[in-house]
Amino acid sequence: MRGSHGKWSLGDPNGDGFNDCILVSDGGKRFVVSKQLVIRRLPAWVPLIESHTDGSRLYYTIRTTISTEVLDDITNFLQNNCAVPNDWLRLELLLDEADKWKLKAIEDAVLTRFAYDVTQENCIAVWKSCKDHSSIHTNKVFHYLLYVLNEAIKHKRNLDFYQIKVDDLMEILTSDFLNVRSEVEVWHMIKTWILAGRKVRQKYVRNLLQAVRFVHLNYKECRAIVNDELVKREISDEHQIVFEICTKRRIPRDIIIACFGWHGKQPSSAIEAFDVFTYTWRESACMEIGHKVAYHACVVIGTKMYIAGGYDGDTFFNDFHCYDAERMKWLEMAPMHNARCYVAGCELNGKVFVCGGSNGHERLKSAEIYDAEKNQWTQLRDMHFARSDAAACTMNGRVYVVGGFSGEFVLQSVEMYIPDSDLWIEIATMNTPRSGLACVVDGDSIVIAGGFDGSARLSSVERLRSCSSYTMILPSMPSARKLIGPISECVNTVILFTWSVDMLRVLPAVFFNSMVTGGAKSQHLTLHAVPRRLWCCEHGQIPRELFRMVKMDVEESYGRNKATVVEREAT
């Protein structure tokens, strides 16, 4: 029991004997706990225990310099294992006291909350807290920081960057996992930091330049850095600049895995990794399986990739396979209730959701969901329309199924599934009927692209906002596309990675649609790209086990030539 000064009581059992010890905050607020609890969980406070008698009763007090709010949090956590507070400042104060008094359990709980709530704005502060307290979350937070920091600095979203110490900055800039499109951006980060305190930071130019991997810049880019006022002021002789501390390329954080699909006139079992920064493909033989399939659904949840249904030229499958990236192994899971090709799928609350498609006889309106813990499929309420070649995505805990082909005509309706009530609602109509389209969630809206309207391939793009019953037109893609693969999202950029059919040709291509400018441009692939169904890893959250699996292939394609300066030409 706990109460204010003069209104406390002793002798209430709480599983640790009797509440016979009073904790006093710096403001005089009293909290009653068990002395045995203090001895067991607060050994650093044992020397502070004072003994008192009240008649025949013996009780104890511990006077602290801790604020009432923080002592309340400590008492709550120790007695009831209650969650730590949500207030960020209060969490920092609690962490300081937990560190001072060696309350490891509270310290871990606070750092876990910090890691859970990490954002572009606070990632440096969270990383520093985790690092200073040797948290198990340090590496995870650091990799998140490396992914988002460049964009956060460009848009002035992280004020902690301007106060970061030079050693911490160097640790960030020298990491192979720093997410930059060019080493020029590394120089821009250095320059931004120096200009925030030029008088005291100018002297660090020489050392920080060692983080720039000049070997991957062209001559013009190198000259621009060497001739910068900050560099010339500190280094009069450019030959004193150390150009080759590290020459290997940084590891890409956005990797798209293309799996199975058509190759020539037959389905394929091949799997390839595509690096969006170098525009190169690399086969990942260690992921391959003998299963050949096309027109399947591909859903990623955590470190597992699920392949649902599909068609091999003869058979329509209800098969369901899982690639476990931690075990680096393919597993055959419980089959779906219905055979499905041209099927739409997505993740819903940690489960695999599939709907529509064709079983070889008719288009389907059925839907089902897979629970990995039970290895079991559950049939859901049917959609309003039978749909194959539709697209599906999840926004705000609800599934949106867009377009498709009914077997007679191309659809332009959008249906929403509400899982709590197992209910489908037709919520919107697109400007254009579409089958073989792609869709992706962007904030509170869905971007819909490409497809086939029944007579022509489409290059048009639409946006459906949440709670809207109509779509708005966005800038078109450079080429008309049907049978488009999924869309993935990177920092400030939506990547429409597609294999598609344009008349009689299969066209592999990648489109980058800038959310800032609204424009789109095509980056043509210089290597042969096998059309595949795609596994897109969003926001750089590529499972580390998967990354380790394809890392060898990707690094091999980069090469390790320390003497070669790579000229990168715009397509």
Q: Is residue 289 within 8 Å of residue 329, measured between CB atoms?
A: no
**Radius of gyration of the chain from Cα atoms?**
29
pLDDT in tens, 145-155: 999 999 999 99
Measured distance CA(204)–CA(60) in Å, rounded: 56
Q: Residue 258: pLDDT above 70?
A: yes
- Picking from 103, 129, 132, the residue whose alpha carbon sits closest to that of residue 118 is 129
pLDDT digits (tens, 9 = 90+) for 473-519: 998 887 666 555 544 444 334 444 443 333 323 333 444 333 333 33
Domains and CATH numbers, the chain: 2-82 (3.30.710.10), 255-557 (2.120.10.80)
Residues 440, 486 contacting (CB under 8 angstroms): yes
**Alpha carbon separation from 11 to 8, 17, 79 (Å, rounded):** 10, 9, 15
Cβ 354 vs Cβ 340: under 8 Å: yes
More confident residue, 227 or 569: 227
Amino acid 8: pLDDT? 43
Whole-number average pLDDT of the chain? 79
Q: Among 406-410, 459-463, 558-562, where is mean pLDDT lowest? A: 558-562
**CA atoms of 511 and 120, how far apart (whole Å):** 25
Of the ranges 221-230, 263-272, 412-421, 491-500, the best mean pLDDT one: 412-421
Check if the beta carbon of residue 189 is closer than 8 Å to that of residue 173. yes
Beta strands 262-263; 271-275: pairing state: unpaired
User: What was the pLDDT predicted at 540?
Assistant: 34
360-409 pLDDT, tens digit per residue, is 999 999 999 999 999 999 999 999 999 999 999 999 999 999 999 999 99
How many Cβ atoms from other residues are within 10 Å of residue 47's Cβ? 7
State whether residue 241 is helix, strand or coil. Answer: coil
Q: Check: CB of residue 514 under 8 Å from CB of residue 492.
A: yes
Predicted pLDDT of residue 436: 92
Provide the token pair at 449: 């692209």
* Enclosing H/E stretch for 22: strand 21-24
Residue 238 pLDDT grade (very low, low, confident, very high; cuts 50, 70, 90): low
- The pLDDT score that the predictor gives to residue 83 is 67
Instruction: Sort 243 into a burial class: Cβ within 10 Å, 0-12 / 13-18 / 19+.
Output: middle
Q: Which of 69-83, 87-101, 431-445 has the lowest mean pLDDT?
A: 69-83
- pLDDT value for 42: 83
Q: d(Cα 378, Cα 353) in Å, to the nearest integer? A: 10
Which residues, listed in sequence order, are joined to residue 521 by a DSSP beta bridge?
Answer: 512
- Separation of alpha carbons 359 and 531, rounded Å: 23
487-509: string of b/e by CB count within 10 Å (b at 16+)?
Answer: bbbbbebbbbbbbbbeeeebbbb
Q: Are 340 and 365 in contact (CB under 8 A)?
A: no
In 3D space, the residue among 3, 145, 166, 58 whose CA is nearest the CA of residue 491 turns out to be 145
Torsion of CA 336, 340, 342, 348, to 10 degrees: -20
Cβ(471)–Cβ(437) under 8 Å? Answer: no
Measured CA to CA in angstroms, residue 218 lies from 53, 173, 222, 223, 230 at distances of 81, 20, 6, 9, 20
Q: How far apart are the first and last CA of the chain?
A: 71
Helix (H) or strand (E) holding 222: helix 219-226
